[in-house]
Structure 1
Amino acid sequence: MKFTDGYWMYRKGLAALHPRDISDVVATDSGLEIYAPTQRINARGDALNCPQLTVSFSSPLEGVIGVTIEHFQGALDPNPRFELQDAHPAVNVAVNETHATLTSGALTASVSLSGDWTVDFTGDGKLLTSSVPRSVGFITDDAGRAFVHEQLTLGVGTNVYGLGERFGAFVKNGQSVDVWNEDGGTSSDLAYKNVPFFLTNSGYGVFVNHPERVSFEIGSEVVSRAQFSVEGQKLQYFVIYGPSPKEILRRYTELTGRPSRIPAWSYGLWLSTSFTTDYDEDTVMSFIDGMAERNLPLSVFHFDCHWMRAFHWSDFVWDPATFPDPEGMLRRLHERGLKVCVWINPYIAQRSHLFREGRELGYLVQRADGSVWQWDLWQAGMALVDFTNPDAVLWYQDKLRTLLGQGVDSFKTDFGERIPTDVVWHDGSNPQRMHNYYTQLYNEAVFQLLEKELGVGEAVLFARSATTGGQKLPVHWGGDCESTFAAMSESLRGGLSLASSGFAFWSHDIGGFEGTPEPEMFKRWIAFGLLSSHSRLHGSNSYRVPWLVDEESVDVLRHFTELKMHLMPYLAGAAEEAYSSGTPVMRPMFLEFPADQGCAHLDRQYMLGSSLLVAPVLEAGGEHSFYLPEGTWTHLESGDTLEGPRWHSRSFSVMEAPVFVRPGTILPLGSVSNRPDYDWAANVEFSAFAVEEGHRSRVEVPSPDGSSTTYEVTAAEGGVSAVVVR
């Protein structure tokens, strides 16, 4: 939200207060409290009729400093709140005549006690960012609303990334972003997954600890500052030190949560019925038979919305007209070696028998007068499950447990963004704060059920909406995109932005959701999709089986699916890094090469794990430009080498993809090409890329059961040798 009219003036109807002096400093072993009057105090009488802001400094984790800015401290602090880790690290607090400082690890906040308001954040002694005069503001308007904002300086060359899955420009400088979950597709400034956290290439990130709407002005209101604001009397944010982008994400995901383990089978190819298409068991089996007849590896079959009866979504009852024997059908799918996913959402249509049940039990969100909140958007007369009610959570989970008993293995947790604010929640949660946070409760309810019924490590979602903490509940997909090259590129930007926000696993609809893909675009999207952490064929009003596009699409799908299956030892290693440190499997280039200025703005290519550079072909014709960082890079399949750092232009057929192996890589390749859930260490092969002869390194290959095997690999003339050491 913008408050100013240019640099000097405030917009009509707004009044602003800023810290102008410091009246007192209270230091404890764990923090600092700064009392900051909003005018100069030169005499006793100046303290009268003078509002004062309280700015507190603390540290939940080493290398992380929290700042809380408050006007009135008597305001309510309602639910919900993000679940944060607080390790109570040892901090150093010091006050002298000129400064008050709090140091946590290598990060220091230094408050100037004389002159204009200034707080410097330094990492290892280097200035990262500052809060300067007029950065902290308490704003009121003519309607009686109040806002608190902070502005942190942006250094020359500082880029800002993240703020959730955003489909516009990858670097957020110059943008106004409201963190507010909405169902807006992938072609606008709206987003399904809003995260009030940004990452910079200058050694720090910032997390704003508010689940409600947070408005960011990233070099847009004041072009040299990143501003964030919330409505109310209080603003809390955390400065997170790196110094590297990976270290920032490590600390951020330690604070807000690391991803849960997911099953090996989820890395395989998912095939969907699509959305508005006609289908029944015969249609489903024809797809599966068609995949088998063409030797196309398939791991998961997904039933989209119409597995239930129209006007009954969601009642979790199979449509008897199209699926008269769901248990038998699911058993037959399992006999084919497939896992099964079904579409659900948290909305209960009035026609559903669950509406009456939920209304009578008080499990549906209500209005202030006690009536059930309803509207006709999406489903006629639909209501919303109140996940703040523990009994409603158990009720909802019990309905899903019936599906698990029938043979369902996973759920696509769609929607969760259209959450009203004119309602009353069971636990008294603030409706504004619940709007974004609802998705967390919804996905937690489903994920925790899967873990309880199937076991830890066997739960996996296909979720659309998210906020901070959502990274703990993988996997997420990119939402409703068009079937165009432009939509393919915007989907990639969304995925890279989400990865910059701490999400390790991500997918998208291969071929696009809306419309029917042209053959060449579909084939290019296949390569992109199978070189993502998770891979799904899905559409809206047309099927996504490749032979309905053209026969060459069949060959392309087979090739890249088999390639991904061979890459499983490597991808599983990247997943282990995500579990342990929060580093995403699909990584923006700057995350892996922070010192290479050529990578700072790249949003049409990415690193898959630490060693594979993927540059999807995003336009017709196959002529493609991509950037390689320093060193000798090797095309994964052809073995051709190219030098960096520089841009290259090459032509690629649809059976090729620009996938280059990082210099110095020892790449483990699996022995199975038709499924992801095999013993990755059995008969594993290692390939060396731009490695000097005689070089030795240790490579750890995980196993689906959670164990691992460590090999000592030696590069020799003509190949490599590997010996198990653990």
Structure 2
Amino acid sequence: MNLDTLKLLESSASKHLFDAGSGSRLVVEPHAPGMYRLRIGESDAVASDLPARPRARAQAEMLLARAEVIGEAELTVVQEPASWLIRHGQTGVILGQSPFRISLVRFDEEDRMHPVASSTSDGICHQDGHWSVAMELRPDEAVHGLGQTSTDLNRRGEYIVSDDPAHRALPLAWSPTGWGLYVNAPGRTDHDVGVDDPNAYRVYFQSPVFDIFLFAGDPGDILNQYTALTGRAGQPSLWALGAWLRQPRDCSASQLLELVRKLREQGVCLDAVMMREPMAWSFNEAKLSLEWDAERFPDPKRALDLFASESVHVCLPTLPAIKASSSTFAELEDRGWLLANEDTADACVFTGNDVTGGDDFALLDLTHKDVYQVWTERHRQLAEDGVAAVSCSTQFDIPDDITARSGESGAVLRTLYPVLTRTALFEAWAGNKVPPEGVVLTSDLMPAAQRFPWQAPTVVEQSWGGMCEAIRLALSTGSSGVPLQMLAIGDESQDPATVDTQLTLRWLAMAVFSGNFQFENPAALMSDKWDDTSREAMAHWMQWRYRLIPYVLGAIEDAARTGLPVQRSMAMSFPADLVAHEWDTQYLLGPAVLVAPVTHPGKQTEIYLPEGDAWWDLATGWRYEGGTTLTLEVGLDSIPLFGREGHMLCLGPAASHTGEFNSARILEEVWMFGMPVHNPVVMRNKIRVMQMQGSSYIKGLEGLKIMPSEGLEVKRRGAEVRISRAR
């Protein structure tokens, strides 16, 4: 292979084929607007969008939801020695030679070409099945995405390994300057973001074929195309957007239900309980029948019905695990249904964890279609019996000498096993619902994580610094394409007598204006440290949460259409405003609301309103121009919130749980931030905005209270509302 002597073999609107030397081919495809796929390999390997071999095809489909090319591009020679421009609309990719370079470009309204990003002078390297490609980085250029972090959202200066669970990696990288990169390979991928060479982002990956996607566009465009390519989430059930509570230790199911009742009486609205480990059932016999833990759940149906009667939804932990001490273990080992050493056929035994009650275990081989089907069916049975959701994390350090039935091993198996686990569980709970709807919580991060609604909460230190970490965890997960990262409030190890009520209320206010959250320590919520004033503030925030549910669920539905997460970082939302990027604990909640959590003791705080928009203070109704820094006094019953001009915020009724919602009247009022221009984000959106002659005409606001901004007047005309300037 010698990319310095490329030879064009054939060109069509959807595929451009080059001879790369040594029997290799380079294929460039304008996969979609602003997205280009580059593949290098033997002719047969790059002949079609998906591999011919069934198992390789199945692996590819786990990574790509849409392999076919939907774009069209023209190819032109731009200079000598031969360089080729492959242009699709307002973006293009240039293949240069001597040395080989890849360059992304954009075209302005006058059709002038502007560089976006270029590979380094050493271009693409290949040795023994290992590939590398590097993009040049300017001195002040940031790189975002690549998974979860609790520190700097800019990943520059980090080295990230895809199949190391500690690295919390996801495969998409992007820059606010307008480019993105995704490596389409299930094996190990190393991301060197300016560590070895401060001026380059270099990616190493193991694969028989070089296969990358390059993106040109704003971060929102990149997330849109990336999630359309790799798959987007379904939606969770309405109840899942209510507050969650983790079951305390040594608390029975009946005691937990009584605890929910008491907290609701004190103004803590709740919808779901996360039952703690171990699993409430085990798998027995050859067909993996489920057997409930008789001590914890002597009558499972009665217990689930009792929770349901109180509008409490139960989430239980599960794991595709067979205890090594069970009779089922030997039986399934003989049948080849467990992950095992290929040479000896001995099942791989893992050290016991909380989910297995400390017992050592083996993992079901979910690459085996029969095992996958049986495990899915057993969990579908649980869903039908009334288990509302499950939590399951399987990102284990599977040894390299363990081989699955279908041949996967090493980094490929470590990458794909969590994908198979979560996909099977989502299939079990979504069933045949259209659109697919279900809740499967996991802490795993892996390719295809963005196909599922959200991630399980991550407990961090209960401190002001820990609160900042929690915000960055959520924003970095969203920046990598995952719609929603749940937040944890509290820590079960915390002594209730030491609860900092100011910190807890600030944390709660932030979590209310997030994707969703879970209380980790019920005892801390009932501590004597809470006086009447602070309890009133807590009840105030819980009511805000439930009023926001239609908007937040609408933002999740929006993620299924656009790929944009519920919580959006400043760099993602305002890529051209470099000052905004520095305010990395501020974020947009959906498209309409800027949230600036108070992350330090005291009432005084500073916020920054990004350039390019005007902003309306939800507390005062005052309008501010973007590019402004404000210093505010903020009580414990307040949080800096600003509506984006041209948008609306649709709110539902106050409630103690979603069971009190009237499905026929889920909305109660609408807040307007200046003249409405955009359709509002709200669940099952049927509200439409049309502008004409300086006024906005809105359909779908029947029966709703309308809160216009100052200077606007509202006139109702049957089913239509007219918003115009006050005379």
Q: Aligned pair 1:173/2:173, yes or no?
A: no
Q: Equivalent residue for 1:283?
A: 255
CA shift, 1:147, in A, is: 2.6
State the partner residue of 1:131.
Answer: 119
Post-superposition shift, 1:331? 0.7
Using the alignment, how far apart are the partners of 2:637 and 2:419 within structure 1? 40
- Which one is further off, 213-222 or 328-337? 213-222
Please point out which of 533, 554, 563 is paired with 1:573. 554
Residue 159 to residue 512, structure 1, CA distance change in 2 (3 Å): farther
- TM-score after normalising by structure 2: 0.84
Q: Is 1:633–1:660's contact at 8 Å kept on the other side of the alignment?
A: yes
Is this contact kept in 2: 1:532–1:608, CA < 8 A?
yes
The aligned counterpart of 1:301 is 273
Per the alignment, residue 587 of structure 1 pairs with 568
Residue pairs, 1:213-612, within 5 angstroms? 213-242=188-217, 244-274=218-248, 277-306=249-278, 308=280, 317-351=291-325, 355-356=329-330, 358-368=332-342, 369-378=344-353, 379-452=358-431, 456-512=435-491, 515=494, 518-538=500-520, 543=523, 545-547=525-527, 550-551=530-531, 554-612=535-593
In 1, the alpha carbon distance for the partners of 2:664 and 2:635 equals 30
1:619 to 600, 616, 631: 600
CA distance in 1, matches of 2:306, 2:41: 61
Shift of 1:674: 3.1
The residue correspondences of 1:95-106 to structure 2 (distance < 5 A) are 95=77, 97=80, 98-106=82-90
Give the Cα–Cα distance (whole angstroms) in 1 for the partners of residues 45 and 621 of structure 2.
66
Q: Is the 8 A contact 1:25 1:35 kept in 2?
A: yes
- Of stretches 198-207 and 465-474 in structure 1, the one that deviates more from structure 2 is 465-474
Asked if structure 2 preserves the Cα contact closer than 8 Å seen for 1:374 and 1:381, the reply is yes
Three-state SS of the structure 2 residue aligned to 1:616 is coil
Which deviates the most, 713-722 or 103-112? 713-722
* CA shift in 2, pair 1:645/1:23, >3 Å: closer
- Which residue is 1:655 aligned to? 637
By how many angstroms is 1:344 displaced? 1.6
Contact 1:624 1:649 in 2 (8 A): yes
Tell me, what secondary structure is at the counterpart of 2:135?
strand
Structure 2 CA distance for partners of 1:670 and 1:116, relative to 1, 3 Å: same
Separation in 2, partners of 1:466, 1:336: 34
1:474 to partner: Cα distance: 1.7
- Deviation digits for residues 436-465 of structure 1, max 9, x if unmatched? 221111111000111117764431222211
Q: CA deviation at 1:665?
A: 3.4
Tell me what 2:177 maps to: 202
- Structure 1 letter corresponding to 2:530: D
**1:308 is matched by which residue type in structure 2?**
A
Kept after mapping to 2: 8 A contact 1:315/1:353: no
Partner SS for 1:599: helix
The Cα of 1:179 is off from its aligned counterpart by 1.7
AA at the equivalent of 2:588: M
Instruction: Please tell me whether the aligned partners of residues 475 and 507 of structure 1 are also in contact (alpha carbons under 8 angstroms).
Output: yes
Normalised by the length of structure 1, the TM-score is 0.84
Rate the CA distance shift 1:716–1:643 in 2: closer, same or farther, 3 A.
closer
Q: What SS does the corresponding residue of 1:399 show, helix, strand or coil? A: helix
CA deviations 1:304-345 (Å, max 9, x no partner) are: 214638999x99644333332221121111111222211122
**C-alpha displacement of 1:598:** 1.3
Mean Cα displacement is larger for which, 381-390 or 644-653?
Answer: 644-653
**Aligned residue for 1:6?**
none
The corresponding residue for 2:703 is none
| Alpha-carbon separation, structure 1, partners of 2:45 and 2:677 | 59
Q: Which residue of 2 aligns with 1:15?
A: none
When residues 622 and 459 of structure 1 are mapped into structure 2, their CA distance, relative to the original with a 3 A threshold, is same
Q: Secondary structure at the match of 1:135?
A: strand
Give, in whole Å, the separation in 2 of the partners of 1:328 and 1:228.
54
Give aligned pairs, total: 670
CA separation in 1, counterparts of 2:6 and 2:589? 52
**Distance change in 2, residues 1:569/1:385 (3 Å):** same
Q: Given the superposition, is the C-alpha separation of residues 632 and 230 from structure 1 closer, same or farther in structure 2, using an over 3 Å criterion?
A: closer
**1:43-192 maps to which residues of 2 (within 5 A)?**
54-70=25-41, 79=56, 80-81=59-60, 82-88=63-69, 89-95=71-77, 97=80, 98-113=82-97, 115-124=98-107, 125-139=113-127, 147-182=130-165, 184=166, 190-191=167-168
2:577 maps to amino acid: D
Going from structure 1 to structure 2, the CA distance change for 1:435 and 1:649 (only over 3 Å counts) comes to same
CA contact (8 A) 1:273 1:279 kept: yes
Alpha-carbon offset, residue 394 of structure 1: 2.0
| Secondary structure of the structure 1 residue equivalent to 2:608 | strand
Equivalent residues in 2 for 1:639-650 (5 A)?
639=621, 644-650=626-632
Contact 1:463/1:474 (CA < 8 Å) preserved in 2?
Answer: no
Contact between 1:341 and 1:409, CA under 8 Å: does it hold in 2?
A: yes
- The AA in structure 2 aligned to 1:362 is G
C-alpha contact 1:632 1:644 (8 A) present in aligned 2:
yes
Aligned with 1:508: secondary structure? Answer: strand
Distance apart, 1:553 and its partner CA:
5.8
Structure 1's 227 and 460: CA in aligned 2 closer, same or farther, altered over 3 A? same
In structure 2, relative to structure 1, the CA distance for the partners of 1:365 and 1:597 (3 Å cut) is: same
- Which AA in structure 1 matches 2:568? R
Evaluate the alpha carbon distance shift between residue 490 and residue 212 of structure 1 in structure 2; reply closer, same or farther with a 3 A threshold.
Answer: farther
> For each residue in 1:659-685, what CA deviation from the matched residue of structure 2 results, as whole angstroms up to 9, or x when unmatched?
222234332222333344544855632
Give the direction of change, closer, same or farther, for the CA distance of 1:282–1:575 in structure 2 (3 Å limit).
closer
Match of 1:567, SS state, is: helix
Choose 213-222 or 21-30, whichever is displaced more.
21-30
Partner of 1:12: none
Measured in 2, the distance between the counterparts of 1:361 and 1:640 equals: 69
C-alpha distance in structure 2 between counterparts of 1:680 and 1:544, whole Å: 37
Q: How does 1:699-714 map to 2 (within 5 A)?
A: 699-700=679-680, 702-703=682-683, 706=684, 708-710=686-688, 712-713=697-698
State whether residues 558 and 681 of structure 2, in contact with CA within 8 Å, keep that contact through their aligned partners in structure 1.
no
Equivalent residues of 2:646, 2:678 under 8 A apart: no
Identical residues among aligned pairs (%)? 21
Is residue 184–residue 212 contact of structure 2 (8 Å, CA) maintained in 1? yes
Residue 376 of structure 2 aligns to a residue whose secondary structure is helix
Whether contact under 8 Å (1:280, 1:323) holds in the other structure is: no
Instruction: Kindly indicate whether residue 651 of structure 2 is the aligned counterpart of residue 669 of structure 1.
Output: yes
SS in 2 for 1:569: helix
Q: Which moved more, 1:560-569 or 1:104-113?
A: 104-113
Contact 1:201 1:245 (8 Å CA) reproduced: yes
**Cα–Cα, structure 1 residues 514 and 236, in superposed 2: closer, same or farther, change >3 Å?**
farther
Q: Which runs of 5+ in 2 are unaligned?
A: 108-112, 690-696, 699-707, 722-727
C-alpha distance in structure 2 between counterparts of 1:696 and 1:641, whole Å: 15
Which residue of structure 2 lines up, in the alignment, with residue 10 of structure 1?
none
Tell me if structure 1 keeps the 8 A contact 2:280–2:296. no
C-alpha separation between the residues in 1 aligned to 2:195 and 2:649?
A: 44
In the superposition, relative to structure 1, how do residues 60 and 294 fare at CA in structure 2: closer, same or farther (>3 Å)? same
Counterpart AA for 2:242: G
Q: Is the 8 A contact 1:485 1:619 kept in 2?
A: yes
Aligned pairs for 1:626-645 (under 5 A) are: 626-630=607-611, 633-639=615-621, 644-645=626-627
C-alpha offsets along residues 103-139 of structure 1, whole Å, 9 cap, x if unaligned? 23333222224x3222222122221111242132235
In the alignment, is the contact (CA less than 8 A) between 2:234 and 2:560 conserved in 1? yes
Give 5+ residue unaligned stretches, structure 1: 1-17, 38-50, 140-144, 185-189
The AA in structure 2 aligned to 1:648 is L
Report which stretch shifted further, 330-339 or 460-469: 460-469
